[in-house]
Amino acid sequence: MNRHDIALIGFGGVNRALAQIILDRGDDLATDLGFVLRVVAITDLRLGSLMQADGIDLAHVFAMTDGETFAGMSGGAAEPQNEYVIRNTTADIVVEATFTNPIDGEPGISHVRAALESGKSVTTTNKGPVALGGVELNRLAAANGVTFQYEGSVVSGTPILRFASETLTGLQINAVEGILNGTSNYVLGQMESGMTLDAAVAEAQALGYAEADPTADIEGSDVQLKVVILANEILGANLTTADVSRRGISELSATDIVEAAAQGKRYKLIGSAFRNAAGGVTAKVEPMALPLTHPLASISGPTNAVSFDTDLLGTVTVSGPGAGRVETAYALLSDIIAIDAHQRAQAEVSS
């Protein structure tokens, strides 16, 4: 049976969840998917770096105590030597799940570039490298005969990108719009019930929906990155964040939202991209008061949804979880499945 050795760059919630899935469901996955998954490298800010070509004992890693590092293990070091591990690991797939940097995409872009240059395929949930370096990185992947996959960079485990490229094949997609940030969507829902913005954000933080610094969610910069990805991937644009106008929800008051509800409308933070009359693509992020008949108006809580405007089917809407460790880990798994399919196709061509 075919096997994929993987390197986990970052061992926070998402990559830990992927490792747990491999540990718990490895045999079943092998039966279902036709290939075995084996983790051969891990890097982490807290734990350090670990490379074991014969496979890492994940049960042992999960049993490590607070303060313990990989330094005491064969192939281990106390420091997270990310780029060294990426270039020298025996893995054929690198899973990049470090933090998103909306300014320059680093260190994620460098991690992905190093892996592709080393002849390794990459899957990432990191929006930064995709939105800010996607064109370059996809070209680099093609030049090295590997693939760069990033399904989880937009709507977590909900397969928006693959849905558009595979399920909607044969349709012309003229526009795409969506609720792409679960935190802001939850906050707007609470404000509709009369809460202030600050109180709603505090509640979202208490529930784990919002970070300690919720600026990227509330001011729309998180959605801005995702809109760049959607516009470039689905509409064939070549946008940067500078091309996407942005307004967040901080300008809205609870009174604005309650008044909209009285008029049969509901505010949502919408990220959109559409083909304009000049033949280009216009993209923006803004709070919009949608009529209740709009397919995105009924999306509540931390759920995300994307609507595609097509020539033959009209509007097609897909909704699902926009966050969550296990849900996002599934996106990584779906990318690994796509990488396996690509490798098998290449092997058939070569034979």
What residues are labeled active site? Answer: 226
Under a CB-based contact definition with an 8 Å cutoff, are residues 111 and 81 in contact? no
Indicate if 137 and 285 belong to the same structural domain. Answer: no
Per-residue model confidence as pLDDT tens for the chain (351 residues): 889 999 999 999 999 999 999 999 999 999 999 999 999 999 999 999 999 999 999 999 999 999 999 998 999 999 999 999 999 999 999 999 999 888 899 999 999 999 999 999 999 999 999 999 999 999 999 999 999 999 999 998 899 999 999 999 999 999 999 999 999 999 999 998 889 999 999 999 998 888 889 999 999 999 999 999 999 999 999 999 999 999 999 999 888 988 998 999 999 999 999 999 998 999 999 999 999 999 999 999 889 999 999 999 999 999 998 888 899 999 999 999 999 999 988 888 877
* Residue 224 backbone phi and psi in degrees, to 5: -55, -45
* 298: CATH: 3.30.360.10
Indicate if 301 and 340 belong to the same structural domain. Answer: no
Under a CB-based contact definition with an 8 Å cutoff, are residues 283 and 227 in contact? yes
What is the CB neighbour count within 10 angstroms for residue 132? 24
End-to-end CA distance of the chain: 18
Indicate if 198 and 267 belong to the same structural domain. Answer: yes
Indicate if 150 and 283 belong to the same structural domain. Answer: no
294: which DSSP letter?
A: S
- Overall domain count for the chain: 2
Indicate if 113 and 196 belong to the same structural domain. Answer: no
HSE-CB at 268 with a 13 A cutoff on CA atoms is 27
As given in the structure block, the two tokens for residue 137 are 């990185």
CA-to-CA separations, 347 to 2, 38, 91, 116, in angstroms, rounded = 12, 21, 18, 18
Under a CB-based contact definition with an 8 Å cutoff, are residues 267 and 193 in contact? no
**In angstroms, rounded to a whole number, what is the distance separating the alpha carbons of residues 306 and 302?**
14
Under a CB-based contact definition with an 8 Å cutoff, are residues 316 and 103 in contact? no
Q: What is the pLDDT of residue 212?
A: 84
Q: Is 39 helix (H, G, I), strand (E, B) or coil?
A: strand
Q: What is the pLDDT of residue 20?
A: 97
**In angstroms, rounded to a whole number, what is the distance separating the alpha carbons of residues 50 and 47?**
9
As given in the structure block, the two tokens for residue 304 are 């995300």
77: domain range? 2-156+326-350
* 66: CATH: 3.40.50.720
Indicate if 290 and 333 belong to the same structural domain. Answer: no
146: which DSSP letter?
A: -
Q: What is the pLDDT of residue 75?
A: 97
Q: What is the pLDDT of residue 350?
A: 75
Residues 186, 160, 179, CA angle at the centre, nearest 5°? Answer: 25
